[in-house]
Structure 1
Amino acid sequence: MSNFVPPLINAAINNVAYPLTLTKTLIQLGYEPLPPSKGKKFGFIGKTTLLYPNGIAYMKHICKVDGVLGLGRGIGSRLVSDFVFRAVQDRGTASLNRLRNAGEPEDNSPKQKKEDSVPDLLEECAIESCAKMLAIVVSQPFYTISVRAMAQFIGREKIYGIPFITSVRVIWREEGVSGFFAGLIPRVISEILSLWLGKIVYYYMCKYVFVEDNHQVKALQPYGRLIVPTLTSHFTYPFALTSTIMAVNGSSLRAGGFPLTSVYKNWWHCLSDLVRTHDTARGSALFNRVAKL
């Protein structure tokens, strides 16, 4: 039972700012209920352009329509999704590490920790990738339901959410098994690419930036892990965006088809359309959101 405590805590922490997650998801799906207005592209500087209202105004609109509790729409499904993901990932990583160390003799004598090498880094990335991929596949049905639960704000539906009985029945009837894994491939690419890029970038930051010779810079090493996601998000975000869109696209929800969005043949078709329309960063920022009309 104690193995479930860390995933529960992790899921709770991940969703402390859930209203922002809900707002970001609705923006990713292309839903803009508030009209744009003229403003500076970078706040007080930059050329004048049309800007959508910021995330705070968007959340106020949600409260106006659904009340304050509306900011928690779909949170139950997301908590389950995050819990399942973390639980499977932790158990998978632990099992793979046991297999890796199975042939090594036990040595309880203290050893000086050696500097990590590139092969060690690649081995660590491979193990974490396998565990994460398994976690994504197992949690994807819950992830799909959680995104659709949030998307129901757009069309005012009441199909998806906890309990999952109705959600499972509708997906099975309308889309079959594939419906439970809508958006799976771009999500896998986003998560695994983020893992590898993050690990590699941080490794070389520790090797060439956070060096022992400069104690002031070395002291910043713990903050390096906070910087890495920002550096790698440019490459991974388009796939994460595609995953969110495809989790809803083609479903019976109003958010899943025309006139809000096109119905895509597959995730590659969706990503190609986002690239063509220069919209691969949609939802990545909650302020200074340039309107694409």
Structure 2
Amino acid sequence: MDAGSRLWEHQGRDVITGFLSQVGHEPLPPTVGRNVLGRKVLYLPGFFTYARHIVEVDGKRGLFRGLTPRLISSTLSTITRGSVKKAFPLEDMEHVSNKDDVKTSLRKVVRETSHEMMMQCVSRVVSHPLHVISMRCMVQFVGREVKYSGVFSAIGRIFKEEGILGFFVGLVPHILGDVIFLWCCNLVAHFINTYAVDDNFSQASVIRSYTKFVMGIAVSMLTYPFLLVGDLMAVNNCGLRAGLPPYAPAFTSWIHCWRYLSAQGQLFRGSSLLFRRAPIPAASFPID
């Protein structure tokens, strides 16, 4: 699976409702529901309820906060990947074939994954400054701020207040997540296709074609904390309400942020957009 099309980055995590839930902004009270076992639990408002709240507060335009820098970021990422691909064309690389022996096929997977990793890391570095701006534009909803009102003004403000490094806060966990995702997805899919799928099975080729897709979903769940930490670092201690207490302490590093979320049991906060269980502190009071 190409890291440029990672599912967990294109299923709502970069829209305002998904990001606000990541930073822990819950303006609406949880509601009582039942889980699959029939037990009563508290659920936080889902995507559509949250979106309606944003429209009520901010109008329909509120749903599109941060859209412009996000589109520019995606465009830069696509252009960069294309440029790197032209500089190091895939045609010069051997692709995995069912006729390859185990050692040969594994070597090809490693080479292809290394190529994908290089493209993704370069495109991530180039597009990350606009990603930071997009996150900050969206999170202003929390404190009703207007500090970041446009792409060019945001660039000037970040450079003035934080310097060049301000454009790359949260970059490291994003890159680590990309790298881990790529290697785990490609290698596990390769071993499944090699050892678990029998060539004598009539639908073997069909199963192999979907293995990476399925593994992409599974691995993206495991690497989601890197995305969360990276996005939180992009807005942490930048002068916006959502990046300051009580939403979060001023983190000294992304590792500090990771440890804090881990201690709070919040490493997967915002990972779901529809069925969102209320955190333990909010669910500690009786609901019967």
Q: Residues 79-98 of structure 1 correspond to what in structure 2 (within 5 A)? A: 79-97=71-89
Moved more, 214-223 or 139-148: 214-223
Which one of the candidate residues 261, 265, 276 is aligned to 1:289? 276
The structure-2 alpha-carbon separation of the partners of 1:20 and 1:97, relative to structure 1 and needing over 3 Å to count, comes to closer
Moved more, 17-26 or 132-141: 17-26
Instruction: Give the conservation status (yes or no) of the 8 Å contact 1:15–1:79.
Output: no
- C-alpha displacement at 1:165, in angstroms? 1.8
The structure-2 alpha-carbon separation of the partners of 1:15 and 1:219, relative to structure 1 and needing over 3 Å to count, comes to closer
Structure 1 residue 243 corresponds to structure 2 residue 230:
yes
- C-alpha displacement at 1:177, in angstroms? 1.4
- Greater RCO between the two (CA within 8 Å, min separation 6)? 2
Instruction: Give the conservation status (yes or no) of the 8 Å contact 1:19–1:59.
Output: no
Number of the residue aligned with 1:144: 132
Instruction: Give the conservation status (yes or no) of the 8 Å contact 1:148–1:247.
Output: yes
Instruction: Give the conservation status (yes or no) of the 8 Å contact 2:32–2:42.
Output: yes
User: d(CA) in 2 for partners of 1:257 and 1:91?
Assistant: 39
User: d(CA) in 2 for partners of 1:145 and 1:225?
Assistant: 32
Number of the residue aligned with 2:23: 29
Structure 1 residue 158 corresponds to structure 2 residue 152:
no
User: What does the per-residue CA deviation read over 1:253-287, in whole Å, with 9 as the maximum and x for residues that have no partner?
Assistant: 11111122211111000001111111111011123
Moved more, 197-206 or 80-89: 197-206
- C-alpha displacement at 1:236, in angstroms? 0.8
Number of the residue aligned with 1:52: 44
* SS of alignment partner, residue 15 of structure 2: helix
Instruction: Give the conservation status (yes or no) of the 8 Å contact 1:146–1:160.
Output: no
Letter in 2 for 1:156: R
Number of the residue aligned with 2:115: 127
Instruction: Give the conservation status (yes or no) of the 8 Å contact 2:13–2:19.
Output: no
Instruction: Give the conservation status (yes or no) of the 8 Å contact 1:154–1:255.
Output: yes
Instruction: Give the conservation status (yes or no) of the 8 Å contact 1:93–1:128.
Output: no
The structure-2 alpha-carbon separation of the partners of 1:211 and 1:86, relative to structure 1 and needing over 3 Å to count, comes to farther
TM-score, length basis structure 2: 0.84
- Identity rate, percent: 32
Letter in 2 for 1:30: G
Task: Say what the alpha-carbon RMSD is for the aligned residues.
Answer: 2.7
TM-score, length basis structure 1: 0.83
User: What does the per-residue CA deviation read over 1:58-91, in whole Å, with 9 as the maximum and x for residues that have no partner?
Assistant: 1111111122232122111111111111211221
- C-alpha displacement at 1:161, in angstroms? 5.5
- How many pairs does the alignment contain? 270
User: d(CA) in 2 for partners of 1:119 and 1:205?
Assistant: 16
Which one of the candidate residues 43, 46, 57 is aligned to 1:65? 57
Number of the residue aligned with 1:269: 256
- C-alpha displacement at 1:22, in angstroms? 2.0
Q: Which runs of 5+ in 1 are unaligned?
A: 1-9, 105-111
Instruction: Give the conservation status (yes or no) of the 8 Å contact 1:77–1:146.
Output: yes
User: d(CA) in 2 for partners of 1:186 and 1:18?
Assistant: 19
Q: Which runs of 5+ in 2 are unaligned?
A: 282-288
